[in-house]
């Protein structure tokens, strides 16, 4: 999780045009990676799963461990909100939804639902993502030539 969030932060801080495309299912750190680009696409059959931070294996059940998980979850939801069109409050509502996923909490958003919620910018495929990237590159070139 730490490495994935670090990669998402790095992508978000790039000064070059960036476009992401969600194919298949994206969950866990895939959410921050998808929204880290300046513009994001999801295919119609793609999914974004918003769920709480989880732990596997042996876990020391003390207050400090819980606080650490809550802080980690807050960092993720804050990143998602800062790099999408969703509020942190709405992300947390979907994350803690107990009715959506069987025997678990969270929400599965299909392509158009991810766009409607504001998590992803647009439904589209590879050609849409490449066209958008070229459009963004051309815009950067135009701005650069205007400043010369």
Of 28, 65, 83, 127, which residue is the catalytic one?
28
51 is catalytic: yes
Of 26, 36, 40, 51, which residue is the catalytic one?
51
83 is catalytic: no
Check if the beta carbon of residue 22 is closer than 8 Å to that of residue 120.
yes
Cα–Cα distance measured from residue 94 to residue 39, given in angstroms and rounded to the nearest whole number: 22
Q: What residues contact 99, with CB distance under 8 A and at least 6 apart?
A: none
Neighbours of 68 (CB within 10 A): 12
- Residue 15 is encoded by which pair of tokens? 């000064």
Catalytic residues: 28, 51
């Amino acid at each position: 999780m730490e490495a994935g969030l670090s990669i998402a932060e790095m992508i978000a801080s790039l000064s070059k045009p960036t476009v992401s495309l969600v194919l298949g299912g994206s969950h866990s750190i895939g959410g921050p990676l998808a929204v880290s680009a300046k513009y994001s696409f999801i295919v119609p059959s793609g999914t974004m799963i918003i769920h709480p931070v989880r732990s596997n294996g042996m876990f020391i059940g003390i207050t400090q461990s819980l606080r650490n998980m809550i802080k980690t979850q807050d960092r993720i939801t804050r990143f998602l909100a800062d790099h999408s069109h969703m509020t942190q409050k709405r992300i947390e509502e979907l994350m803690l939804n107990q009715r959506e996923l069987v025997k678990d909490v969270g929400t599965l958003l299909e392509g158009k639902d991810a766009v409607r919620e504001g998590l992803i910018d647009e439904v589209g495929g590879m050609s849409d993502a490449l066209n958008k990237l070229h459009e963004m590159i051309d815009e950067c070139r135009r701005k650069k030539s205007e400043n010369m």
